[in-house]
Amino acid sequence: MTIHSPIHVVGGGLAGSEAAWQIASQGVPVILHEMRPVRMTDAHKTEGLAELVCSNSFRSDEWETNAVGLLHAEMRRTGSLIMAAGDRHKLPAGGALAVDRDAFSAEVTARLSENPLVTIERGEVAGLPPADWDSVVVATGPLTSPALSEEVRALTGEGELAFFDAIAPVVHFDSIDQTIAWKQSRYDKAGPAGTGADYLNCPMSKEEYEAFIDALLAGDKTVFKEWEASTPYFDGCLPVEVMAERGRETLRFGPLKPVGLTDPRTGRRPYAVVQLRQDNALGTLWNMVGFQTKLKHAEQVRVFRMIPGLAEAEFARLGGLHRNTFINSPKLLDGALRLKAQPRLRFAGQITGVEGYVESAAIGLLAGRFAAAERKGQTLAAPPPTTALGALIAHITGGHILDNAGSASSSFQPMNINYGLLPPLDDAPTTGADGKRLKGKERGTEKKRVMSRRALRDLDGWLAERAHADA
Ligand SMILES: Cc1cc2nc3c(=O)[nH]c(=O)nc-3n(C[C@H](O)[C@H](O)[C@H](O)COP(=O)(O)OP(=O)(O)OC[C@H]3O[C@@H](n4cnc5c(N)ncnc54)[C@H](O)[C@@H]3O)c2cc1C
DSSP string, 291-310: ----B-HHHHHHHHTTSTT-
Distance from residue 322's CA to the centre of ligand 1 (Å): 13
* Residuewise pLDDT in 10s, the chain (471 residues): 788 999 999 999 999 999 999 999 999 999 999 999 999 999 999 999 999 999 999 999 999 999 999 999 999 999 999 999 999 999 988 899 999 999 999 999 999 999 999 999 999 999 999 999 999 999 999 999 999 999 999 999 978 999 888 889 999 999 999 999 999 999 998 877 778 888 999 999 999 999 999 999 999 988 877 777 766 545 567 889 989 999 999 999 999 999 999 999 999 999 999 999 998 889 999 999 989 999 999 999 999 999 999 999 999 999 998 899 999 999 999 999 999 999 999 999 999 999 999 999 999 999 999 999 999 999 999 999 999 999 999 999 987 776 655 444 457 889 999 999 999 998 888 887 788 888 878 888 999 999 999 999 999 999 999 888 777
Q: Which atom of ligand 1 is nearest to the CA of 49?
A: 49
The bridge status of strand 285-288 relative to strand 315-317 is unpaired
The pLDDT value recorded for residue 407 is 47
Give the DSSP H or E segment for 122. Answer: strand 118-122
SS3 (DSSP) at 10? strand
Distance from residue 5's CA to the centre of ligand 1 (Å): 28
pTM over 0.85: yes
Query: Is the peptide bond prior to 37 cis by the omega test (within 30 degrees of 0)?
Result: yes
SS3 (DSSP) at 397? helix
Name the residue of 10, 58, 317, 360 to mutate for ligand 1: max ligand atoms within 8 A of Cβ: 360
Distance from residue 151's CA to the centre of ligand 1 (Å): 19
As a residue count, the chain comes to 471
Residue nearest to atom 31 of ligand 1 (CA): 13
Distance from residue 142's CA to the centre of ligand 1 (Å): 5
The bridge status of strand 285-288 relative to strand 170-172 is antiparallel
C-alpha angle 76-82-83 in degrees, rounded to nearest 5: 35
What are φ and ψ of residue 258, in 5° steps? Answer: -95, 0
Whole-angstrom CA distances from 125 to 8, 17, 146, 147, 439 are 11, 16, 10, 8, 55
The pLDDT value recorded for residue 79 is 98
